[in-house]
């Protein structure tokens, strides 16, 4: 860093100019440079003088990759994303918008982050205030540009948040607990990144590891450009006796346990991208959709990659911590989450490793943990692949060319250099947040609307098909998927089904229930519908079984929208894990006791089903059992 001269030694006009710059909004590249200079470069690490080791739970099996490969086209993929960001926020052929926080504001943040990192809590605070909040702000500015929202599929922005599991409160069974993770219930100690949209889509997971426990030197040694992970790390039973080799072995085991922990979560959640951070370095991760047994990695060390000699150039490249995470978040917005079938197929072919980060470190003598493995010197950031690399990253769906920003002529997608000594005019901060609240009140269940607000209702009369086409048409998948956009059946409809009564003409799905035009009776009994749904969900969980928001607000269950592809009944499923099923299934007895009140004071209850394959649900674990009932109102 260049030393700042004493203001008393500068001409008065220069002093005024510099002071004015501190209180003026910054452009995108000025913002990134100031954040890197004030928040990233001063970052220090301290090893606690005293540390205690609590009880380490027995390790559980985690899915692990068969191969570990360097993600050779990561840098070029991120550069393309960053160029697109610049085309909206920092174009090359006109003065950029100065819409980001002032240098003075960033100095205030820097003052609160002066403590060296020495714990998980320190790292969490640093990442939040030095990286994540700034990524969120930049994406927030992109959200204000309609073309950018469409280009990156960013919805209303992104949210970084810690993950708590509403279904599993017992730490021993918590699927989001660091050390009690099992193959059916993953949980690294991480934050999650969600897109703010109607589905609140999970984009990535972020795993924190304090740099005194997972050192950058161990990352440099433990991350090999190409490795047979299963035989080279997991099944490497012979511990070296040579001291240097032992330190390299330790690095591979430590790094391997961290990668396995994150990889396990990515497989379970159906994610293509995620990352691990230690503050001073990041490991960007990708699972190729066509080869889930391979894990691609890209090691980033922002404070080493950006030097004074290359400063002007590197800020036009995504090399800062903020730029790296920003580009990865936008890449994840363009990635389609893997469906349940993909996850089950991947799990069926993967090996598991009974390991944990804490367990691996506990087996290494303290003196070895403090030593630096040989070959851990920084050798420079890896170059991008000049040719197509293994599983080149491509957005899940084709995107239009980068459009013009707002109504301006289209520009080349490059970043303009930022003026280091240019006057910066102040601008108003137009940031605003909108919050909506939902009022709820007690109602008679027979008067509850057939669907929650926001579900479209204009297609229900166009979905009717003959029984033959419903059951045997190979192209019926699209038809079945369209059911997911429909409305819930009324209480009266399902009450009639339960009592072998007539169809409810007021049910939005009545035309789907009719097998013939003039039918007035339900085409199936309640018991028959439960059996049909059980068979349907045994074949696929990716259609007509849609998780809803509000996990844990539904007692010990997670709400699902369940649709009968054969008969068109749309109802609510209360899904839960095997551990909680003994409690939840007692509700079925309560509903039966309240049989006469169903449809008026309580929802109509149809029965229970078991999911043979299990539904991997973010925030809950593996859903394997479900209560089926009528929609009872806003959750």
pLDDT in tens, 399-409: 445 444 443 43
pLDDT score at 414: 46
Q: How confident is the model at residue 483 (pLDDT cuts 50, 70, 90)?
A: very low
Residues 73, 389 contacting (CB under 8 angstroms):
yes
Task: Pick the closest to residue 209 from 120, 303, 298 (CA basis).
Answer: 120
If asked whether residues 349 and 471 sit together in one domain, one would say: no
- Average pLDDT of the segment spanning 550-577: 86
pLDDT top residue among 492 and 470: 492
Residue 167 structure tokens: 């279904």
Q: Which of 347, 369, 391 is the last residue of a domain?
A: 369
Q: How confident is the model at residue 600 (pLDDT cuts 50, 70, 90)?
A: confident
Q: Which has the minimum average pLDDT: 29-38, 62-71, 437-446, 603-612?
A: 437-446
If asked whether residues 217 and 343 sit together in one domain, one would say: yes
If asked whether residues 325 and 450 sit together in one domain, one would say: no
If asked whether residues 176 and 89 sit together in one domain, one would say: yes
pLDDT score at 162: 74
If asked whether residues 162 and 292 sit together in one domain, one would say: yes
Task: Pick the closest to residue 406 from 197, 156, 142 (CA basis).
Answer: 142
- Average pLDDT of the segment spanning 550-568: 81
pLDDT score at 394: 79
Task: Pick the closest to residue 204 from 282, 149, 122, 272 (CA basis).
Answer: 272
Number of structural domains (the chain) is 2
Global confidence as pTM: 0.79
Residues 6 or more apart whose CB falls under 8 angstroms from that of 164 comprise 176
pLDDT score at 421: 34
- Average pLDDT of the segment spanning 570-582: 93
If asked whether residues 271 and 127 sit together in one domain, one would say: yes
Question: In the 8-state DSSP scheme, what is residue 375?
Answer: T
If asked whether residues 364 and 498 sit together in one domain, one would say: no
Scan for tokens 């007690």, then name that residue.
442
pLDDT score at 330: 97
Q: Has residue 359 been placed in a domain? A: yes
β-sheet bridge partners, residue 629: 572, 605
Question: Does position 448 have pLDDT exceeding 70, yes or no?
Answer: no
pLDDT score at 329: 97
Residues 153-178: tens digit of each pLDDT: 999 999 988 765 556 544 334 433 33
Residues 631, 561 contacting (CB under 8 angstroms):
no
If asked whether residues 351 and 449 sit together in one domain, one would say: no
Question: Does position 473 have pLDDT exceeding 50, yes or no?
Answer: no
Residues 281-293: tens digit of each pLDDT: 999 999 999 999 9
Q: Has residue 331 been placed in a domain? A: yes
Q: Which has the minimum average pLDDT: 146-150, 472-476, 576-580?
A: 472-476
pLDDT score at 391: 63
pLDDT score at 6: 63
CB atoms within 10 A of CB 154: 22
Q: Has residue 23 been placed in a domain? A: no
If asked whether residues 233 and 356 sit together in one domain, one would say: yes
Q: Which domain holds residue 194?
A: 38-45+60-369
pLDDT top residue among 85 and 312: 85
Cα–Cα distance for residue pair 416/323, rounded to 1 Å:
16
pLDDT score at 550: 55
Cα–Cα distance for residue pair 233/230, rounded to 1 Å:
6
Question: Does position 566 have pLDDT exceeding 50, yes or no?
Answer: yes
Task: Find the Cα–Cα–Cα–Cα dihedral 439, 445, 449, 450, rounded to 10°.
Answer: 130
Q: How confident is the model at residue 150 (pLDDT cuts 50, 70, 90)?
A: very high
Question: Does position 373 have pLDDT exceeding 90, yes or no?
Answer: yes
Cα–Cα distance for residue pair 470/374, rounded to 1 Å:
65
pLDDT score at 7: 59
pLDDT score at 59: 79
Using alpha carbons only, what angle is made at residue 497 by residues 491 and 500, rounded to the nearest 5 degrees? 135
Question: Does position 429 have pLDDT exceeding 60, yes or no?
Answer: no
Q: Has residue 9 been placed in a domain? A: no
The DSSP code sequence of 165-186 is -SS--SGGG-TT-SSS-BTTB-
Q: Has residue 384 been placed in a domain? A: no
Q: How confident is the model at residue 526 (pLDDT cuts 50, 70, 90)?
A: very high
Q: How confident is the model at residue 361 (pLDDT cuts 50, 70, 90)?
A: very high
If asked whether residues 455 and 337 sit together in one domain, one would say: no
Question: Does position 180 have pLDDT exceeding 50, yes or no?
Answer: no
Q: Has residue 388 been placed in a domain? A: no
Q: Which has the minimum average pLDDT: 227-241, 330-344, 356-370, 417-431?
A: 417-431
| Spacing of C-alpha 208 from chain mean position | 14
Q: Which of 350, 369, 388 is the last residue of a domain?
A: 369
β-sheet bridge partners, residue 193: 160, 204
Q: Which of 348, 369, 390 is the last residue of a domain?
A: 369
Cα–Cα distance for residue pair 58/355, rounded to 1 Å:
9
- Average pLDDT of the segment spanning 331-349: 94
If asked whether residues 361 and 458 sit together in one domain, one would say: no
pLDDT score at 459: 33
Gyration radius (Cα) of the chain, Å: 28
Residues 572, 558 contacting (CB under 8 angstroms):
no
Q: Has residue 170 been placed in a domain? A: yes
If asked whether residues 334 and 456 sit together in one domain, one would say: no
Using alpha carbons only, what angle is made at residue 535 by residues 529 and 540, rounded to the nearest 5 degrees? 120
Question: Does position 385 have pLDDT exceeding 60, yes or no?
Answer: no
Pairing of strands 351-354, 61-64: antiparallel
pLDDT score at 201: 86
Q: Has residue 567 been placed in a domain? A: yes
């Amino acid at each position: 860093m260049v030393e700042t001269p004493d203001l008393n030694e500068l001409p008065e006009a220069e002093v005024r100019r510099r002071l004015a710059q501190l209180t003026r909004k910054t452009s995108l590249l000025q913002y990134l440079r100031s954040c890197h200079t004030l928040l990233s470069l001063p970052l220090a690490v301290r090893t606690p003088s005293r540390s205690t080791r609590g009880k380490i739970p027995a390790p559980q099996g985690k899915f692990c990759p068969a191969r570990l490969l360097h993600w050779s086209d990561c840098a070029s993929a991120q550069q393309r994303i960053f160029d697109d960001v610049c085309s909206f926020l920092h174009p090359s052929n006109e003065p950029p918008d100065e819409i980001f926080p002032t240098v003075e504001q960033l100095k205030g943040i820097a003052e609160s982050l002066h403590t060296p990192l020495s714990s998980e809590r320190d790292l969490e605070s640093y990442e939040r205030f030095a990286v994540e909040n700034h990524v969120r702000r930049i994406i927030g500015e992109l959200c204000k540009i309609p073309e950018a929202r469409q280009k990156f599929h960013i919805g209303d922005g992104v949210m970084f948040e810690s993950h708590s599991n509403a279904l599993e409160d017992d730490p021993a069974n918590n699927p989001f607990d660091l050390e009690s993770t099992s193959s059916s219930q993953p949980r690294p100690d991480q934050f999650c990144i969600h897109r703010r949209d109607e589905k609140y889509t999970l984009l990535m997971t972020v795993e924190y590891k304090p740099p005194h426990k997972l050192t950058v030197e161990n990352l440099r040694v433990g991350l090999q450009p190409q490795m047979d992970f299963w035989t080279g790390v997991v099944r490497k039973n012979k511990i070296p006796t040579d001291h240097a080799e032992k330190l390299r072995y330790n690095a591979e085991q430590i790094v391997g346990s961290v990668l396995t922990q994150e990889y396990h979560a990515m497989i379970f959640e159906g994610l293509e991208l995620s990352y691990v951070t230690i503050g001073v370095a990041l490991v960007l991760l990708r699972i190729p959709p066509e080869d889930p047994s391979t894990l691609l990695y890209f090691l980033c060390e922002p404070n080493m990659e950006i030097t004074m000699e290359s400063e002007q150039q590197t800020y036009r490249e995504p090399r800062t911590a903020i730029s790296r995470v920003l580009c990865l978040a936008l890449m994840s917005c363009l990635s389609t989450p893997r469906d349940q079938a993909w996850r089950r197929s991947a799990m069926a072919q993967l090996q598991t490793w009974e390991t944990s980060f804490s367990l691996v470190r506990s087996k290494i003598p303290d003196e070895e943990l403090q030593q630096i493995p040989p070959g851990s010197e920084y050798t420079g950031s890896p170059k991008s692949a000049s040719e197509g690399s293994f599983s080149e990253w491509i957005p899940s769906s084709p995107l239009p060319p980068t459009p013009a920003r707002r109504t301006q002529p289209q520009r080349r997608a490059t970043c303009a250099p930022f003026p280091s000594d240019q006057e910066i005019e102040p601008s108003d901060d137009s940031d605003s947040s909108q919050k909506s609240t939902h009022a709820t009140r007690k109602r008679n269940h027979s008067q509850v609307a057939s669907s929650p607000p926001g579900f479209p209702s204009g297609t229900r009369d166009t979905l009717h098909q003959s029984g033959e086409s419903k059951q045997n048409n190979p192209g019926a998948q699209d038809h079945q998927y369209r059911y997911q956009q429909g409305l819930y059946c009324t209480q009266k409809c399902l009450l009639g089904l339960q009592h072998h009564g007539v169809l409810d003409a007021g049910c939005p799905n009545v035309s789907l229930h009719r097998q013939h035009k003039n039918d007035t009776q339900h085409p199936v009994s309640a018991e028959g519908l439960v059996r049909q749904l059980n068979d349907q969900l045994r074949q696929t969980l990716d259609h007509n079984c849609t998780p809803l928001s509000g996990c844990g607000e539904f007692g010990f269950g997670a709400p699902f929208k369940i649709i009968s592809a054969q008969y068109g009944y749309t109802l609510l499923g209360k899904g839960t894990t095997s551990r909680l099923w003994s409690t939840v299934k007692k509700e079925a007895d309560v509903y039966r006791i309240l049989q006469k009140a169903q449809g008026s004071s309580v929802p109509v209850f149809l029965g229970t089903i078991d999911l043979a394959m299990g539904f991997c649900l973010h925030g809950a674990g593996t859903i394997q059992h479900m209560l089926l009932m009528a929609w009872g109102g806003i959750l």
